[in-house]
Structure 1
């Protein structure tokens, strides 16, 4: 195992500097805010029936999920995440469509783009370039160009999520979120003093959890109304960053089905490490009670139960405080095993095979 207090070794294994990128989320999110504020878009005289976000993977679709959770009680049209090649029949001229592909070359998103184009929906895009940028130029579709980074969209939520918020405000669909975003930027600056590479294990919860996870299967439980997408994000990060199969579910839903599976044989359930997402402010009394009971019951069954708590002055901060912790945990976990967290060889192999005639 790698000593996570060996800063030089940790950064050496992290060959593409994903930890450094994460430590710099405050700067990334601030840049994302400035880019979005400078994006010129006319407010359409239109009553949209739904917001459909075309996007896949740990950047685009997760950003859409976080948006849906964050705006749960404010945005008065449904948010639909469309991750496939095709779009549903209800997409029409009354739909607001965000087309999001960091590379600009995601084949599912480009396929869905072509279908939407023929339906007369109001479209705009967020990308770092590629075919999507070209197609937007050809069809005079508003397109926000964001920095490319290294082509791993899971590292650039600040260039995806923040512009969506700003654009929705420009369109008059939500209130101005600038103050909340600034508070989030400040929170990132504080939290990297808890989770960053230079912080030793004994003072670093992210490193501690990453080490405890060794030999277990990660399971993340979130909750409605705000932490379903956060749990989804962390689960995805375990796959891409940690190279681990992981699972997630949502309270209260899971108490009506998955909970029966807690009676599985002890030698199986003991292999799970549960990360339970909690919020002393946003969780309702009923949800708090359900989480208390869940932690109590599973502490006697699973290999380990770790409860982590949101922090920050507003909902955006509180949600992203756990996103941020999850990002660090899932980066330290593979490094502890001596594995570089950034390459996604399986995904690249899949793309190669898909391209074969």
Structure 2
């Protein structure tokens, strides 16, 4: 019997529906929202932490390359010094109560930025109401922030479309929903690819590499999900960067790393040709110093579809890894304890 007290398997299996629901809800709110004009925005800043902050990374990697203004993802307290009245700041917090995000959005408002918030209630939605700024709601029923990637990432993308910075954004979302249905349906059967990969990883630590920013973000997502769901160390990097530094650190202790680490390569259709060649070289150099090399190839039409496709595969693999480890994927007591201790008065 699988121990899953928060229903993480069910929440992950509902990812396609989550993306579709988030798109419809955001579209409804944005239809009547008062938003800045396209020409009034010179930069976009997305603030958020953890499972909420990665929504900003999705915006940067999917919409950023097609936008005429830069997208900056800020994870931490405060905001960048350039934030002013020409900045669109999107504050994302699953709970609406993330300490760092609340400070960031307050600072952004004081700097005159145009603010839009995304949350499932909490203090962030209250601030939006007080300030009279648009608030994009996150649906109820999602157990944890890390299970809410679609609910958190889709609203900012459609916001940028509505402002005129990301034309065609809804079509990208619809293509992603189509692919997520295909992938989900393939991954909910016994003996599916994600389950097989988790079994092959066993008790080893995943080292996940992706290509360019898109694959690198997918690799980061895999790392985070293995950390939180399976409660195991996991590591990530992206090409070409890893072939300029990290790869030099492998080999010296290959007799050790071979026993404890396995390499997972995340591939997609938008890799630079030289990045494709670098993947082959990475396998040549690391094949003897890791326990195994696995490859997961993205499917779907467009960058968003392929990114979320890789993320769904990794989410399911991390849940099956939790089963392999004999742990409940839902609770994250050490993270809860850190928040509790930080909230205590300093003696």
CA contact 2:230–2:325 (8 Å) conserved in 1: no
TM-score normalized by structure 1?
Answer: 0.92
- Using the alignment, how far apart are the partners of 2:196 and 2:24 within structure 1? 35
Match of 2:72 among 77, 80, 93: 80
Match of 1:44 among 36, 49, 73: 36
CA contact 1:14–1:335 (8 Å) conserved in 2: no
SS in 1 for 2:281: helix
Within the alignment, does 1:278 sit opposite 2:241 as a pair? no
SS in 1 for 2:210: strand
- The 5 Å alignment of 1:160-199 reads 160-196=152-188, 199=189
- Using the alignment, how far apart are the partners of 1:215 and 1:166 within structure 2? 40
- Using the alignment, how far apart are the partners of 2:298 and 2:155 within structure 1? 23
1:113-134 deviation digits (Å, cap 9, x = unpaired):
2211110011110111111111
> Counterpart in 1 of 2:22?
32
Match of 1:287 among 260, 275, 291: 275
> Counterpart in 2 of 1:221?
209
Deviation at 1:178, TM superposition (A): 2.2
How many residues were matched structurally? 341
1:187-230 deviation digits (Å, cap 9, x = unpaired):
2221122211xx122xx110011111122111111121421211
> Counterpart in 2 of 1:200?
190
Match of 1:246 among 222, 234, 237: 234
- Using the alignment, how far apart are the partners of 1:67 and 1:227 within structure 2? 14
Deviation at 1:302, TM superposition (A): 0.8
CA contact 1:41–1:170 (8 Å) conserved in 2: no
- Using the alignment, how far apart are the partners of 1:295 and 1:322 within structure 2? 20
> Counterpart in 2 of 1:356?
344
- The 5 Å alignment of 1:47-126 reads 47-58=40-51, 60-126=52-118
- Using the alignment, how far apart are the partners of 1:53 and 1:178 within structure 2? 19
Match of 2:320 among 318, 329, 332: 332
1:316-347 deviation digits (Å, cap 9, x = unpaired):
21111111100000111011222110111111
CA contact 2:64–2:71 (8 Å) conserved in 1: no
- Using the alignment, how far apart are the partners of 1:21 and 1:178 within structure 2? 23
CA contact 2:5–2:328 (8 Å) conserved in 1: yes
Deviation at 1:176, TM superposition (A): 2.1
CA RMSD of aligned residues (A): 1.4
> Counterpart in 2 of 1:312?
300
TM-score normalized by structure 2?
Answer: 0.94
Deviation at 1:22, TM superposition (A): 1.2
SS in 1 for 2:250: helix
SS in 2 for 1:227: helix
CA contact 1:272–1:302 (8 Å) conserved in 2: yes
Within the alignment, does 1:211 sit opposite 2:204 as a pair? no
Moved over 4 A (4+): none
**Structure with a larger share of its residues in helix:** 2
Match of 2:246 among 226, 241, 258: 258
- Using the alignment, how far apart are the partners of 1:151 and 1:21 within structure 2? 7
CA contact 1:103–1:148 (8 Å) conserved in 2: no
